Amino acid sequence: MALRKILTQGDPALGKVCRPVEKFDRKLHWLLDDLKETLEESGGVGLAAPQVGILRRAVIVVDDQEQMIELINPVIIHQEGEQDGLEGCLSVPGMYGKVKRPNYVTVRAQDRSGNFFEVSGEEMVARCFCHELEHLDGHLFVEHTDRLYSVDELDAMDAKGEEP
């Protein structure tokens, strides 16, 4: 396994539509292992293959049990409710914005062997499914918000009892 470099906003790879994974081979397993190691090192809750420059439909999401779920060729098949909250991205380091997302999401995907499965998540996990899957179509969360906040700005607002 190896750490991979996380690309940041402005890198053309982050704006591309990724191709489906067709081969569930050792190369895919290396990619998934590297994504998990890179995500663990970064302390984030999700990472998509294009964020390390691989334009294939594969993402990792950390669930509410702190387990990393591997999602290959994922598709949202059900969504319900709404939540509005701060969101960030390892490709937009240090910046956060308010983004509306569904509160409950079900995803159908394949595992590293190609077997189909479904997984559901709510609140933070639902947010993460939506955020990571968007990366596969070349979209970043900043497209859904008109104001980004730095950690310092958020701290200053918090100290004054204000909300973003």
The pair of three-digit structure tokens given for residue 57, joined into one six-digit string? 């439909």
Sole window of 4-12, 15-23, 33-41, 86-94 interacting with Ni ion (rule: CB under 5 A): 86-94
Nearest CA among 54, 55, 67, 50 for reference residue 132: 50
Q: In the complex, which residue's CB is closest to Ni ion?
A: 89
Residues in Cβ contact with 37 at an 8 Å cutoff, skipping those fewer than 6 apart: 1, 2, 3
132 is annotated as an active-site residue: yes
Sole window of 22-30, 84-92, 100-108, 118-126 interacting with Ni ion (rule: CB under 5 A): 84-92
Cβ at position 23, least distance to Ni ion in Å:
25
Cβ at position 90, least distance to Ni ion in Å:
6
Q: Does 58 bind Ni ion (CB under 5 A)?
A: no
Burial class (CB in 10 A: 0-12, 13-18, 19+), 148: middle
Positions touching Ni ion (CB under 5 A) are 89
